[in-house]
Amino acid sequence: MKPRHQILGSALLALATVLSVSPALASDDCDAPASRWQSRESVRQMAVQKGWEIHRLKIDDGCYEVRGTDAEGRGFKAKIDPETLEVVKLKQRDRKRERNRERDREREPGANRSGSSPAAGPLFNPGTAPRGQIE
């Protein structure tokens, strides 16, 4: 039977190996050499096939980055592998969620809708120092 410290050492080594490999697998950077990249026109054609309207096409972290709207009119940002034209990462804006969040903010009691300074009260009076007692 192995001594306890050998088992613990083996377990820690295995854990360190797994943790060091995980960030590399989660990366959304592209590493294809420039000689194997497909053209920007190919990216545009791929976007048309997906029903996307491109507003901006640039290169970021070795990937093509596309900003635009999808077939339903939702805004999105996508990272595209320049060699395979596969979508590496996709973020979509959810306008319904944004509307609901704004509506909830408006319904909050005492919400400051004017965007100016807080309402005058016992602690705050415009033009004077705040009143309060520190204990």
Indicate whether 131 belongs to any domain. Answer: no
Give the number of domains in the chain.
Answer: 1
Model's pTM, two decimal places? Answer: 0.53
pLDDT value, residue 120: 53
Indicate whether 118 belongs to any domain. Answer: no
Indicate whether 83 belongs to any domain. Answer: yes
| Contact present, 69 and 55 (Cβ < 8 Å) | yes
Q: What is the CATH number of the domain that holds 52?
A: 3.10.450.40
pLDDT value, residue 135: 74
Exposure string (b/e) for 96-134, b if CB count within 10 Å is 16 or more? eeeeeeeeeeeeeeeeeeeeeeeeeeeeeeeeeeeeeee
Indicate whether 53 belongs to any domain. Answer: yes
Tokens describing residue 2? 């192995």
pLDDT digits (tens), the chain, 135 positions: 556 667 666 655 566 665 555 444 456 689 999 999 999 999 999 999 999 999 999 999 999 999 999 998 889 999 999 999 999 999 987 767 777 777 778 887 655 555 555 555 566 677 777 777 777
Q: Which domain holds residue 37?
A: 28-103
Indicate whether 134 belongs to any domain. Answer: no
Indicate whether 49 belongs to any domain. Answer: yes
pLDDT value, residue 80: 96
Indicate whether 4 belongs to any domain. Answer: no
Indicate whether 57 belongs to any domain. Answer: yes
